[in-house]
Structure 1
């Protein structure tokens, strides 16, 4: 599905999209390192993400959505994750849990992230999920603002204490 201006399309990811999505994931990790050093990657990170994202593209309970330039151009953004059951101690819920979402900086403010999330919500609803969940870096104010605008609310704080 293309956006109204036809300058990008969002579609389900395929195995062959994994290398470009992994490259974008590496850019995301680099940006996130500016928020906190906990996001620093391992030497094998890109190779690991290529494999992981390729597996997501062919899984039934996982998802990889990609935003591409017109005429099947390069991947300019992606969203990935999987269906997860909530804690058995709370009311039962199934979540489409977003592990990663990223849009290349030169393609931001064009609605790409919004469209990726919208398509994720459709995917989740088609599978009977109760909602969509995600984590966001505390310092990523731009993303936190977008998620609030899209109807997400913050319900937990993820904290670390390194030894």
Structure 2
């Protein structure tokens, strides 16, 4: 049996932009196919790049990547700090907005390692609560998040007022 390549988890670099955005686009394409799907704005790819690699928010957000020994990026996860509603404690919480591993590298611990790296980042900032949203019709993702320690908290519903 062939050995799995050693995967390294590290903070993303500006030079990773193209590879991360290709993986992000693959994630968005997968979500598009999960009913009811969702619509992205016209320049979503550009905006995602600006969000992920925004130097002005380096202290309040974190992008980590999973790389193979040859440097190829096979996964990423993005998190940020957000202000909670002023009636709740804690005042600042974490939010993981994206976690994606290329299909051929799934079920190998990469997603878990990405989340562990984000957990360390949150803990260094004394963040004790982290939220993640999962598409209602994506049981595979829900299983992953529960496996890495997330618990069900809210059921998020949506209104659509299309004219």
Tell me the TM-score normalized by structure 2. Answer: 0.88
1:28 aligns with 2:27: yes
**Partner Cα separation in structure 2 for residue 5 and residue 93 of structure 1:** 42
Tell me whether 1:55 sits opposite 2:54 in the alignment: yes
CA distance in 1, matches of 2:67, 2:136: 28
Runs of at least 4 residues of structure 1 off by over 6 A?
A: none
Residue in 2 that maps onto 1:103: 101
- Give TM-score, length-normalised by structure 1: 0.88
Provide the rounded CA distance (Å) in 2 between the counterparts of 1:137 and 1:120: 21
Alignment partners' CA distance in 1, 2:16 and 2:109: 21
Say what the alpha-carbon RMSD is for the aligned residues.
Answer: 2.0
Residue 132 of structure 1 is matched in structure 2 by: 130
Q: How many residues align?
A: 159
- Provide the rounded CA distance (Å) in 2 between the counterparts of 1:107 and 1:30: 17
| Residues in 2 aligned to 1:126 and 1:10: alpha-carbon distance in whole angstroms | 17
1:115-160 CA-partner distances (Å, limit 9, x unpaired):
0111110000011111321111111111111111122112112212
Q: Secondary structure at the match of 1:39?
A: coil
| Larger deviation, residues 92-101 vs 55-64 | 55-64
List alignment gaps of at least 5 residues for structure 1.
Answer: none
| Residue 7 of structure 1, CA deviation | 2.4
